[in-house]
Structure 1
Amino acid sequence: MKKKNSTPTPHDATFRQFLTQPDIARDFMEIHLPAELRTVCDLSTLKLESGSFVEDDLRQYFSDVLYSLKTTAGDGYIHVLIEHQSSPDKHMASRMFRYAIAAMQRHLDAGHKKLPLVIPVLFYTGKRSPYPYSTRWLDEFDDPALAGKLYSSDFPLVDVTVIPDDEIAGHRSMAALTLLQKHIHQRDLAELVDRLAPILLAGYLSSSQVISLVHYIVQAGETADAEAFVRELAQRVPQH
C-alpha cells in the first residue's frame, strides 16, 4: 500500500477529512453496508489503516481509505474508494477487486496466515446518474458465467509427482522435461536413462532443447554423478 502523496486534490482532502474519522466512518458503514455484510462486521473495532492503493497517476480521480475490523469470520477490512471524475470508469469493478487483492496481500505480508475478508465500497459522486456500470467484476468478461465458474473453482494443477512415468512418456514434446523435473531431486538417476532415451529418440525436441535439458540436469540435479548420467545418455542418443 502506497503512502499518500503530499499534494492532495480538494476532493481527496475533503473526503479524507470526513472518512478518516472513525465515528463518521462508522456512521457511513452502518448506513451504506448491505445488511448481510453489516451483520458479520463488528464496527466498534474499526481502525484506520495508513496509505492508499490508488496509483499515483489516478489520485486526481480517486481517493480511498482502508479500515481494519473484526468480523465473524476473523480479520477483515473495509476499503472505501471515492470516484470524483466526471465520467465514471467502466472498469471500476475490476479495479475495486484488484485493490481488495492488494489489501489481502498486505495482510499476508504482515505475517498473518489466513486471507482477510475485504469489503470494497465505491462512493460515487459523478455527473452521470444513476451509476451506469455493473459493480460485479465478473460482468466485465465476455462470458461472466464461465469466468465465475473459473474463478470460484480450484485452479488446474499439474502435479508431476503423482503422474506415472509411463503416462509421462506419452506426453510428446513435454515428456522429457516433465520426466526430468519429476525426478531431478533423486540421488541416483541411472534408472532414468532407460526411460528418457526413448523419449529423446522420438524426435519431438530440437538439439538446442536437448542441450538445455542436459544443462538443467547438471545445474539443478542432485544426483551423485551428473556427468556420468549425461555421458550414458549421450551414448543412447548420439544424434544430439
Structure 2
Amino acid sequence: MPEKFDIHQPDDRFFKSAMSDPEVVKAYLQHFYPKIAAIAYLSSLKLENSVSLRPSLKRFEADVIYRCRFQGEADGRFYFCLLFEHKSKPDKYVAVQVGLYIMELLSSMVKKQGRELEPVLPLIFYNGKEKWMPQTLSELFQEHPHFIALEPYIPNFRFLFQDATRLSPAALLELVGVLLLERTQPNFVLIEAR
C-alpha cells in the first residue's frame, strides 16, 4: 500500500524552497524592489541559518534570511539582512512575529564580537484569498485610549509587502518567472496561448 504523504503548508514550503536560491532572490528584488536592489551588492547575497532559540528555549524559524553587502562597500560593517516571511492567510499580529525575528537577529549580532549592528529589512510575501494589508505595531495600538501619549514608546517598523493575489496577470507571469524560471534551465520558453 502506498505511503501517505502529509504536505503541510505546501505554499510555505514552495516559497522557502524558491527563496533559498540566491538567484531567485536577486531577480525578485530587482523586479519588485528596485530601490533595494540598487543599493545592494546582490552577488554577495548569503543565505543565513533561520533557526534560532527564543529565551524560553522554544525553537522558532523565520522563513528565509539573507545577509547582503551594500553596493560599493568592501568593509564588513556595511551589511544588511533581508528577512522573508510568507503568509497564505491574514495574520493580525504578523508585526509581533516579525518584530521578534528582527530582535533575535539584532541580539545575535550583539553577541558576536566585532560585528556591528546591521539593518534588517522585513519582506512579507502574501498569497491568501482575502484582501489583507499587514498592520504595523503602532497601528495595532491606534485604538488604545492613551495612544497619543504612548505612541513615542511603541517600537515600530514598516514592511516591504507583496500581495501576489492582487497582481495583474502580466505581473503574475513575471512573478512565476522570478520564482520558477530562475531555477530552471535557461532554454525554457514560455509560449502564450492564442
User: What TM-score, normalized to structure 1?
Assistant: 0.48
Q: How does 1:133-144 map to 2 (within 5 A)?
A: 133-134=134-135, 136-141=136-141, 142=144
Separation of aligned partners in 2, 1:139 and 1:110: 33
Is residue 22–residue 46 contact of structure 2 (8 Å, CA) maintained in 1? yes
Separation of aligned partners in 2, 1:89 and 1:107: 28
Is residue 53–residue 64 contact of structure 1 (8 Å, CA) maintained in 2? no
Is residue 138–residue 147 contact of structure 1 (8 Å, CA) maintained in 2? no
Unaligned runs of 5+ in 1: 1-6, 153-240
Change (3 A) 1:144 1:43: farther
Is residue 66–residue 83 contact of structure 2 (8 Å, CA) maintained in 1? yes
RMSD between aligned alpha carbons? Answer: 3.2
Change (3 A) 1:144 1:117: farther
Structure 1 or 2, whichever has the larger Rg, is 1
Task: Name the amino acid aligned to 1:51.
Answer: S
Residue 145 of structure 1, CA deviation: 5.2
Task: Name the amino acid aligned to 1:101.
Answer: M
Query: What is the aligned partner in structure 2 of residue 111 from structure 1?
Result: 113
CA distances 1:41-61 after superposition (whole Å, capped 9, x unpaired)? 3222110112336997988xx
Separation of aligned partners in 1, 2:128 and 2:50: 24
1:82 pairs with 2:83: no
Separation of aligned partners in 1, 2:43 and 2:147: 36
The ranges of structure 1 where at least 4 consecutive aligned residues each deviate by more than 3 angstroms after the TM superposition are 37-40, 52-59, 143-148
SS at match of 2:51: coil
Is residue 64–residue 80 contact of structure 1 (8 Å, CA) maintained in 2? yes
Percent identity for Structure 1 against Structure 2: 20
Is residue 19–residue 64 contact of structure 2 (8 Å, CA) maintained in 1? yes
Query: Aligned pairs, how many?
Result: 138
Change (3 A) 1:34 1:150: farther
CA distances 1:181-226 after superposition (whole Å, capped 9, x unpaired)? xxxxxxxxxxxxxxxxxxxxxxxxxxxxxxxxxxxxxxxxxxxxxx
Separation of aligned partners in 2, 1:29 and 1:57: 29
SS at match of 1:111: coil
Separation of aligned partners in 1, 2:18 and 2:42: 17
Q: How does 1:95-174 map to 2 (within 5 A)?
A: 95-129=97-131, 131-134=132-135, 136-141=136-141, 142=144, 146-150=149-153
Separation of aligned partners in 1, 2:49 and 2:97: 20
User: What TM-score, normalized to structure 2?
Assistant: 0.58
Is residue 51–residue 59 contact of structure 2 (8 Å, CA) maintained in 1? no
SS at match of 1:133: coil
Q: How does 1:149-228 map to 2 (within 5 A)?
A: 149-150=152-153
CA distances 1:148-183 after superposition (whole Å, capped 9, x unpaired)? 42257xxxxxxxxxxxxxxxxxxxxxxxxxxxxxxx
Is residue 43–residue 69 contact of structure 1 (8 Å, CA) maintained in 2? yes
